[in-house]
Amino acid sequence: MISSSRTIAGVLVTFDELGVFNDGGSGPTNRYYNGYGFGANTSGWSSQGASFNTVEFDPGWSYSNVNNVTTAGFTNQFASYTGTGFGGSGNYAMAYGWRDDVPTGRFPVPFNPLNVSDLRFIPSIQLPMGMQASSVLISNSTYSALSMLSGDGFSKKFGGATGSDPDFLKLSVFGIDASDNPLGVEVEFYLADYRSPISLNDFIVNSWQSLDLSNLANARSLHFNLSSSDVGGFGMNTPGYFALDNLRLTAVPEPSTLALVGLVTSALAFRRYRTKRAKVRN
């Protein structure tokens, strides 16, 4: 199996080259590398030059090829609700963790996307030097999806008893630039959305969906936070997981290339201006 795609333009991070698992299982499938539970290696792990943070019992990343889409609950926390990596491939990344964006017992001070410490607390990816993120595929975890579909001992069924509650689970992506400054840009993706007054529009994502990251092109690191309509006294009740695959990285344009693009753009703009002037005179 080809584990990644490298071209002059960039890299496609698929995680399929990662074969070291720490779940204690055997065999090539239904395995995972635990990056955020008991005994997690807090030094992180990497794929194709991109580094993923790991913190024991706190926000971080695992990788997995578990294909269980039917077992509800915490024991199935490493499974993507797609059942597999994109296109039927093996591995994908699984993120856990968030920082509440409203005051809660767990986080009395709400998440601030302009605070570097807050951004580094949540699941984060350090990009390789000379590369920028252009897109990524996102989906739900099985644990989160089945909890939202039916509810559980900690979380509500999305939509409530009548199906009309305006529930949601939202993923927000932020960036920090090379000068260690937050970009102040948020890229949003709804993993579940019941806010429409038309119930047929309600959805819980169960496939790989592409997320455009071009607005974070200046980021040297990416930071992922979750928020939900289901929040209690100790914070978000919805299981705080999501799956990620096929992170597409492209080469950062050289300054000379950017200058050339600017010259071409200016020349085209001047040509359009002269053409418009000529038409006015005629």
Taking only the tens place, the pLDDT of each residue in 39-69 is 777 789 999 999 999 988 889 999 999 999 9
| Candidate from 29-43, 64-78, 136-150 with smallest mean pLDDT | 29-43
pLDDT over 90 at 91, yes or no: yes
Residue 277 has pLDDT above 90, yes or no: no
Phi-psi region of 129 (alpha: psi -120 to 50; beta: other; left: phi over 0): beta
Quick one: residue 213, left, alpha or beta (phi over 0 = left, psi -120 to 50 = alpha)? alpha
Structure tokens at 270: 């001047």
Is 129 in contact with 51 (CB distance < 8 Å)?
no
Residue-level pLDDT at 57: 84
Q: Is the pLDDT of residue 220 over 70?
A: yes
Higher pLDDT, 256 or 243: 243
Give the DSSP letter of residue 86: G
- 104 Cβ neighbours under 8 A, 6+ residues apart: 231, 232, 233, 234, 235, 236
Q: 108 pLDDT exceeds 70?
A: yes
Q: Is the pLDDT of residue 258 over 70?
A: no
Question: Comparing 151 with 260, which gets the higher pLDDT?
Answer: 151
- Better-predicted residue by pLDDT, 5 or 45: 45
Give residue 265's pLDDT.
Answer: 47
Mean pLDDT within 258-277:
47
Residue of 236 and 260 predicted with greater confidence: 236
Residues 6+ apart with CB under 8 A from 172: 113, 186, 187, 188, 189, 224, 225, 226, 227
Residue 225, token pair as written in the block: 């936070």
Residue 12 pairs with which residues in a beta bridge?
5, 248
The average pLDDT across 125-152 equals 98
pLDDT reported for residue 193:
98
pLDDT for the residue numbered 257: 46
Task: Kindly report the average pLDDT of the chain as a whole number.
Answer: 89
Q: 98-112, 167-181, 249-263 — which is least confidently predicted?
A: 249-263
